[in-house]
Amino acid sequence: MGLIQNILAVIVVLGLLVTFHEFGHFWVARRCGVKVLRFSVGFGKPLWSRTDRHGTEYAVAAIPLGGYVKMLDEREAPVLDEELKYAFNRKNVWQRVAIVAAGPLANFLLAIVAYWALFVAGMSTVAPLVGDVASGSPAEQAGLEHGAEIVAIEDEPVRAWDEINLKLVSLIGHNGELSIEARPENASASQRYTLPVDDYLVRQEPPQPLQSLGISPWRPDFPAVLGQVMDGEAAAAAGLRSGDRIVAVEGEPVDDWMAFVNVVRGNAGEMLDVRIERDGSEQTVSLTPGRNTLESGIEVGYIGAGVEPVEWPEELRREIRYGPVEAVGQAFNKTGEMVMLTLDAIRKMLVGLISPSNLSGPITIAQISGDSARAGMEAFVGFLAYLSISLGVLNLLPIPVLDGGHLLYYLVEIVRGRPVSEQAQAIGLRIGLAMVGTLMMMALYFDLMRLW
């Protein structure tokens, strides 16, 4: 069932992103007087199509991993004399720039609308309180203590852990001192803590911004009570059910959920006698955790079960909400912040500060799409906005084949006063295809490594 949900979620996500991207090209092309021959969502054989009064065919194709807008163009096929004025290649350079740039801009607009909707509806979060502080870590050296609420990173206000993580990730490669402002437990005023860092998060796979500083987020105590039990996994095979309380393992009492997790992780493939409480009575079941190998090569046990959710204290709950007008500015700011973060991540990957193994392909996107859909509408819309921004930024990279490559050609044309030669464009096309193909193969390879 999880696999089916992942596939459906990624089809919905990619379908929306591709439709918006191609509609951007389509809408501006129509406004510039270009005849559009086909608007396709997906590649390959059309599963459905219809043609409008302008002669544009709208199609949904079998392979939902992209799409395209095919315009009338003399470079692709002969054009009747009476239709030459509708050909893309006959438009002036500024119109061609507008048509090509409209796709990525449509992705940014989709992200703005998504963030606006989230800000108006309100986003639920919890106060970012420090839990454990690792001994000898930068956080301990700076004097950061359990229970302190983080309110700013490098003088930028933060309200939730996701904002903190994004800010810390943007500091990859930072050397010297990292400034954190936090309000100690039971204190009314905040204090500044200076954490020593050296090549912060450089080539870490994957980056662990909080753990690298020695900070663990505070969490309420989670009793060892099962919530979700996945079909076909070790917990289900042992007969465990949602609502079962773990009392003891191999005769040793289990205090909380993390204590049970630690036992499971340390006993991959080993049969365990687990004492549980169910409907007021106790019984013993035999549980054999499965084996899972982490990226570091360490083998750990897992059983395919999750903890029963626990309510957070009301005083730690936060809701980020804005009025419809104020939310517009916030949505633009959020989108701009994510665009700059994405560009900075690409730059740092090119100079070696971020490992290429952090590239994600269709498998990872499908997994995250499914996870975000199961987590609720707020998580799903947030992921949709982030992926739309990523698609927009990547398409603007100056690589032939991508929109950014075409824009680069048009920029050269504006400067030189004449188009780039077809021979040069053909060479660029081959280079661009090789680059994009290599990136796709690398992303798929790292996807498979993460999966295994």
Pick the CATH number of 130-217 from 2.30.42.10, 2.40.50.100, 3.40.50.300, 3.40.50.10800: 2.30.42.10
The structure tokens listed for 292 are: 């899972």
CA–CA separation, 425 vs 410, rounded Å? 11
pLDDT at 1: 46
Q: Where are the domains of the chain?
A: 98-122+321-452, 130-217, 226-308
**Comparing 130-217 with 226-308, is the CATH topology the same?**
yes
Q: Return all residues near 375 (Cβ < 8 A) that are at least 6 apart.
A: none
Would you call 15 helix, strand, or coil by DSSP? helix
How far is C-alpha 442 from the chain's CA centre? 18
Catalytic residues: 22
SS3 category, 49: strand
Q: What pLDDT, on a 0 to 100 scale, did the predictor assign at position 248? A: 93
Q: What is the pLDDT of residue 354?
A: 84
Q: Which residues of the chain have pLDDT under 50?
A: 1
Q: Do 133 and 215 form a contact (C-beta atoms < 8 A)?
A: yes
> How far are the Cα atoms of 32, 66, 198 from residue 344, in angstroms, in the given order?
34, 25, 19
In the chain, the percentage of residues whose pLDDT exceeds 70 is 98
Residues sharing a CB contact under 8 Å with residue 288, sequence separation 6 or more, in sequence order: 234, 237, 238, 269, 270, 271, 272
N-to-C CA span, the chain? 19
DSSP 60-75: EEEEEEEEEEEE--TT
Name the helix (H) or strand (E) containing 391: helix 377-395
Say how far apart CA 236 and CA 45 lie, in whole Å: 42
Q: Which CATH class is domain 226-308?
A: mainly beta
pLDDT of amino acid 316 = 85
